[in-house]
Amino acid sequence: MTSARSSDEARGVRFEPAPLGGELRPPPDKSISHRAALVGAICKGPTRVSGYLDSADTRATLRAVEAVGAVVSQGDSDPNGGFFVEVQGVGLRGASPAAIDVGNAGTLLRIMPGWLAGQPGGEWELDGDESIRRRPVDRIAEPLGGMGASIESRDGLPPLVVRGSPLRGIDYEMPVASAQVKSCLLLAGLLAEGETTVHEPAPSRDHTERMLAAAGVAIRRDGDSVTVEPVAELESGDVTVPGDFSSAAFFLCAALIVPGSELTLREVGINRHRIGLLSIISRMGVEMGGAHEHERERDVVVHEIRDPGPEPMASLRVRPVRLRGAEVGAEDVPGAIDELPLVALLGCFAEGETVVSGAAELRRKESDRIEAVVDGLTALGARIEARPDGFAVEGTGELRGGTIDARGDHRMAMLGAVAGLASREGVEVTGFDAVEVSYPGFARDLTAVTT
């Protein structure tokens, strides 16, 4: 349960210990919503999106595609935090010059320039809020420059100025797996002369590839490499957005560690490159299986699997389990980057030590998530230490409770809420309104499933 107090400086929301029960359909997937709007703008014709996420970040993407000439029509809202939207695209080469405010949307900042860079004669400036101005853009600027793009930034930080230029294909080895960088280069490759191939050190989420394939683009995959060739236009169509696994993960992890819980999460996206958390928790002692005659013996039951296109979804039933510590390495990070703070929380309740490494990327999120997680959980009574590329947690089986600062980071705000449910004394989250970025209805949904 929650109670709120407000002040002129920060909004604090308190979360008391409580088990979880019932059913919940998490809000639509943020990553897929961003890409549906962007690819819709690139198509010639209408793209109809069912279940587009209603959040500050995803609305920034709709405003961005409108700024370059796409026509956006919003339809009815649904009770799960989404709405129907139709994007009338401008075509692959039809973006109008514009100043684009990305707000706090890092996905938009890093993906959209790939499309804009290959349109000669146009100029676009992408800027955002104070947080976005601390997010580095060199990882897209350097390879785009290698393709012939004209990109300017403020010492590797936004604002970012893109001047459209003729592009040539590139064969690019990514130093760090990143779906955003990969997506940026694939969009640029659609406008470049010759093939564009991106090699990843480990597989990252493939939402962009799936959406481009649905729009008629020939995507070639070879191991951890993806290749595209230039195309004339993209075909518009329909997109159904599943529930966001990263949003569902907060409820899933809460149900694993709060005694007396039993929760079903419905229509959750299960793209295999997004569900790395399931592999991690299985190593922490969680038994998973499908719906069959022995399903009640499983801690997480995956059932009602369907694939309406371009993404699969399923329902997950979760109950508490006794956890053990685990090692989480660089190979796990691309498929679970957003869920690693939750792994730290699970580690507090596990027997033994939980160590996360190879996750220096966490320091480049809305906050330095390594320091934010370590400081926040320490304030609640955890035994956790920061490392350059991760953290180590000594499991004690409990958290005392206290106050945690969201630091303007939506995932830290939700982490604090889940910690409150599992704590002895409850947790107050300051700056809780950061959840508006990705999950405005989080507190409402959490209240609905706490008994």
Sign of the CA dihedral with 106 first, then 111, 116, and 117 last? positive
338 noted as active-site residue: yes
Distance CA 152, CA 142 (A): 10
Beta strands in 102-177 (DSSP E): 123-127, 150-154, 157-163, 171-173
- Asked whether 208 and 35 are in contact (CB, 8 A), the reply is yes
Question: 29, 338, 405, 433: which one is catalytic?
Answer: 338
Which helix (H) or strand (E) segment is 370 a member of? helix 369-379
Question: How many CB atoms sit inside 10 A of residue 202's CB?
Answer: 16
* DSSP one-letter code for 199: E
- The two tokens of residue 437 are 């970025």
Q: Which residues pair with 41 in a beta bridge?
A: none
**Is the preceding omega at residue 259 within 30 degrees of 0, hence cis?**
no
Q: Which residues pair with 150 in a beta bridge?
A: 163
- Let me know if 360 is exposed, middle or buried by CB neighbors in 10 A (0-12, 13-18, 19+): middle
**Is the preceding omega at residue 310 within 30 degrees of 0, hence cis?**
yes
Using CA atoms of 434, 53, 370, 403 in order, give the dihedral in degrees to the nearest 10. Answer: 30
Q: Which of helix, strand or coil describes residue 271?
A: coil
Distance CA 360, CA 357 (A): 8
Q: Which of 110, 58, 106, 107 lies closest to 85, judged by CA?
A: 58
Distance CA 352, CA 356 (A): 14
Catalytic positions are 338
